A = this chain, B = another copy of it.
Amino acid sequence: MLDFFFFPGSTYSYLAALRIGGLARAAGVTLRWRPFDVRAIMTEMDNRFLAGKPVKYRYMWRDIERRAARHGLPWNGPPQHPVDPEREALRLATLAAMEGWGEDFAAASFRAWFAEHRSPGIGDTSAHVLAGLGRDPAGTLARAAAPEVSARIEAETAAARRLGIFGAPSFAVGEEIFWGDDRLEEALDWARRPWLGTPIAPVP
């Protein structure tokens, strides 16, 4: 069992979201798609990964471009970022996870963002993505606005916070957490057979 914590507006979640389904199936590992509000956690921690860091920001796009090419994923130049200002894509991703089509929505949302430069939660992107999945845009957006969806987002974000997650994408096998698309293979290996015992004591 592997928990995939992601956010529809997280750049590196793109790479992970389009790779994890196939890799997990090949490894025989059951996957749970768990969208969460990584921005809320990063704000709490004053973890401003990229703000005010143009050199690092530029590197990020080149790194994603290189890794997308290695994995055969679409790359169309840096897309808009940040995105999903009102958490609309997060609500849809959460609704989809609750209803069992979490992987389909996430894959379509990330592809739209990176391949077509349709930004999550901005303009008509949601309607476009939902229509592409054969789902009624208006009805689905209405369901995503329900209080149960907001409650689920808060619960999943709280679960991530409890695990010590501080960024997206992250992977969890029970309480063992892995941060970053570049740890996906390690997390899957761990899900099959951990190579260490219990975690070290907290560092003061």
Contact = CB atoms under 8 A, between A and B. Distances in A.
Interface of A: 45-47, 52-59, 61-63, 65-67, 69-70, 77-78, 164, 166, 177-180, 182-183, 186, 190, 195-196, 199-200, 202-203
3 A-B pairs with the lowest CB-CB distances in the bound complex, closest first: A182-B182, A58-B203, A56-B166
Nearest to A78: B203
Contact of A78 (B166, B196, B200): B200
A174 B85 CA distance: 38
Nearest to A202: B58
Given A69-B196, A182-B182, A196-B66, A166 B61 contact: no
Contacts of A62: 199-200
B59 A166 contact: yes
A69 B199 CA distance: 13
A30 B95 CA distance: 52
